[in-house]
């Protein structure tokens, strides 16, 4: 069991030696407790209370991890450093550089108790330099599942999207404005009533919500704001993939297309036919950046017919795979939220038995329990 008081005194000394204005005279309590986080600094007017997770006192916990948490909380007592803002990060960086700590890093279970485990993946914050390490295989698998769907993880210090060291950022080379204009022209030429005048802005961002490559916000007076994932502007993204995402968002501006539905699907299919786009497909990371990879499984939405050509070995464990419900939760169709099943699987056959089909497209969903007719 580590000696909390001794460690606290040591940390205060180190922080002061680094000329960081810790207000130790205002700390009325430092104690270990069963808490959710590794540490908490509670501020009452002019006073601070520091709580340290009891588990950090165990002999299994390296002293360095305990000290990192303690110092993190001590920094919060400095004037202007109660949040994880710039000043907090500045002090944390000083401590990291001076003593070799890793205060500017996300500390999960492995980082604290198994710092000797090899780092399988490092995520770095491009803004504040904080990092997050993945050490367990299971965690890496879960993270990869997340990443391959186009989702990002964010720095808990400054909220920026982490950059994966295995997939570094590349310069943005595609001209968004130029391609947006091209897409609008193509839509018009195909007779799709895109409402160009209702679009206030088309810009890029990191998109985390629902793991979409594109996203739109509907503002009052039918004004649309379209967001496109930054990665799609990078040099290794084929221009057609960027345009497909743009078109899928532009289609929402048509009357009756705010949500994907019958009219939306009709237009998308028309554009596929005319220009050879792949619009009615779920786009994961591989579909965008590694299209040459062979398709290993094709999942099909039993409601609207959307496809998910998966280019990597099953991402999910056998256990998850066998749990039909769980599988349904994972494979939600991006277009209609229906369930996606592996093409030709037993699951698909069971569902198919209870469906009516019109013109090859499924119009009944066991999950949603409503009809969704498409011509």
Phi and psi at 42, nearest 5°, equal -100, 125
Within residues 160-199, the interface with Zn ion by CB under 5 A covers 160
Please report how close the Cβ of residue 207 comes to Zn ion at its closest, in angstroms: 18
Among positions 187, 304, 327, 374, the unique one binding Zn ion when judged by CB under 5 A:
304
- Measured from the CB atom, the residue of 94 and 196 that comes closer to Zn ion is 94
Between 176 and 268, whose beta carbon lies closer to Zn ion?
A: 268
Contacts of 9 (CB under 8 A, 6+ apart): none
Query: What CA–CA distance (Å, rounded) separates 62 from 277?
Result: 55
The count of chain residues that interact with Zn ion, using the rule CB under 5 A, is: 16
- Residue 92 within binding range of Zn ion, rule CB under 5 A: no
Tokens of 255: 């009357």
Which of 4, 27, 95, 130 is close enough to bind Zn ion by CB under 5 A?
130
**309 binds Zn ion per the rule CB under 5 A:** no
**Minimum CB separation from Zn ion for residue 124, in Å?**
9
Q: Does 128 bind Zn ion (CB under 5 A)?
A: yes
Which part of the chain contacts Zn ion (CB under 5 A), choosing from 2-10, 60-68, 282-290, 297-305? 297-305
Q: Which of 301, 310, 339, 351 binds Zn ion (CB under 5 A)?
A: 301
As a whole number of angstroms, the distance between CA 309 and CA 148 comes to 12
Among 12, 71, 155, 232, binds Zn ion (CB under 5 A): 155
| Nearer residue to Zn ion within complex by CB, 88 or 179 | 88
Long-range contacts of 161-164 (CB under 8 A, 24+ apart): 161/126, 161/206, 161/208, 162/123, 162/124, 162/125, 162/131, 162/132, 163/123, 163/124, 163/125, 163/126, 164/121, 164/123
Angle, in degrees to the nearest 10, between helices 239-250 and 262-275: 150
- DSSP secondary structure string for all residues of 126-178: TTT--EEEE-SHHHHHHHHHHHHTT---B-TTT-PBPEETTS----B-S-HHH
Residue (99 or 154) nearer to Zn ion, CB:
154
- For the bound state, the minimum distance from the C-beta of residue 94 to Zn ion, rounded and expressed in Å, comes to 16
Query: What is the per-residue burial (b if ≥16 Cβ within 10 Å, else e) of 21-49?
Result: ebebeebeebebeeeeebbbbeeeeeebe
For Zn ion, which residue of 27, 32, 61, 158 counts as binding (CB under 5 A)? 158
Q: What residues from 324 to 343 belong to the interface with Zn ion (CB under 5 A)?
A: 333, 335-336, 338
Pairing mode, strands 199-205 and 223-229 = parallel
Among 105, 107, 303, 365, binds Zn ion (CB under 5 A): 303
- Least Cβ distance, residue 186 to Zn ion (angstroms): 24
Q: Which of 48, 91, 101, 157 binds Zn ion (CB under 5 A)?
A: 157
- Report the alpha-carbon distance of residue 147 to residue 164 in Å, rounded: 10
Rounded to an integer, what distance in angstroms lies between the CA atom of residue 86 and that of residue 141?
Answer: 32
Residue from 125, 202, 242, 271 in contact with Zn ion (CB under 5 A): 125
**Smallest separation (angstroms) from Zn ion to the CB of 117:** 23
List interacting residues with Zn ion (CB under 5 A).
125, 127-128, 130, 155, 157-158, 160, 301, 303-304, 306, 333, 335-336, 338
């Amino acid at each position: 069991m580590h000696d909390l008081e001794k460690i606290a005194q040591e940390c205060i000394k180190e922080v002061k030696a680094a000329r960081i204005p810790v207000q130790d005279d205002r700390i009325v309590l430092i104690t270990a407790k069963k808490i959710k986080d590794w540490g908490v600094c509670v501020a009452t007017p002019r006073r601070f209370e520091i709580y340290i997770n009891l588990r950090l006192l165990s002999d299994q916990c390296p002293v360095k991890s305990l000290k990192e948490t303690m110092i993190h909380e001590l920094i919060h007592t400095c004037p202007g450093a109660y949040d994880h803002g710039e000043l907090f990060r500045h002090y944390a960086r000083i401590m990291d550089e001076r003593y070799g700590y890793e205060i500017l890093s996300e500390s999960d279970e492995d980082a604290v108790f198994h710092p000797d485990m090899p780092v399988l993946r490092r995520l770095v914050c491009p803004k504040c330099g904080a990092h997050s390490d993945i050490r367990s295989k299971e965690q890496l698998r879960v993270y990869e599942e997340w990443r391959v769907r186009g989702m990002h993880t964010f720095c808990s210090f400054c909220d920026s999207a982490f950059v994966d060291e295995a997939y570094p950022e590349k310069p943005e080379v595609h001209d968004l404005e130029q391609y947006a204009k091209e897409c609008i022209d193509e839509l018009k030429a195909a007779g799709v009533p895109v409402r160009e005048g209702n679009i206030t802005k088309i810009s890029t961002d990191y998109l985390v919500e629902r793991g979409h490559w594109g996203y739109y916000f509907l503002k009052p007076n039918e004004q649309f704001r379209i967001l496109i994932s930054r990665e799609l502007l990078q040099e290794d993204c084929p221009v057609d993939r960027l345009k497909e995402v743009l078109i899928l968002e532009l289609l929402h501006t048509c009357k009756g297309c705010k949500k994907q539905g019958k009219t939306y699907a009709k237009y998308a299919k028309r554009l596929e036919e005319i220009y050879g786009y792949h619009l009615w497909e779920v786009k994961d990371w591989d579909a965008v950046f590694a299209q040459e990879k062979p398709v290993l499984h094709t999942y099909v939405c039993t409601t609207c017919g959307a496809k998910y050509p998966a280019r990597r070995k099953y991402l999910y464990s056998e256990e998850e795979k066998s749990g039909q419900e769980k599988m349904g939760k994972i494979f939600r169709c991006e277009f209609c939220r229906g369930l996606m099943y592996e093409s030709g699987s037993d699951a698909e056959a069971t569902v198919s038995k209870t469906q009516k089909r019109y013109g090859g497209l499924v119009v009944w969903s066991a999950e949603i329990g409503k009809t969704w007719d498409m011509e």
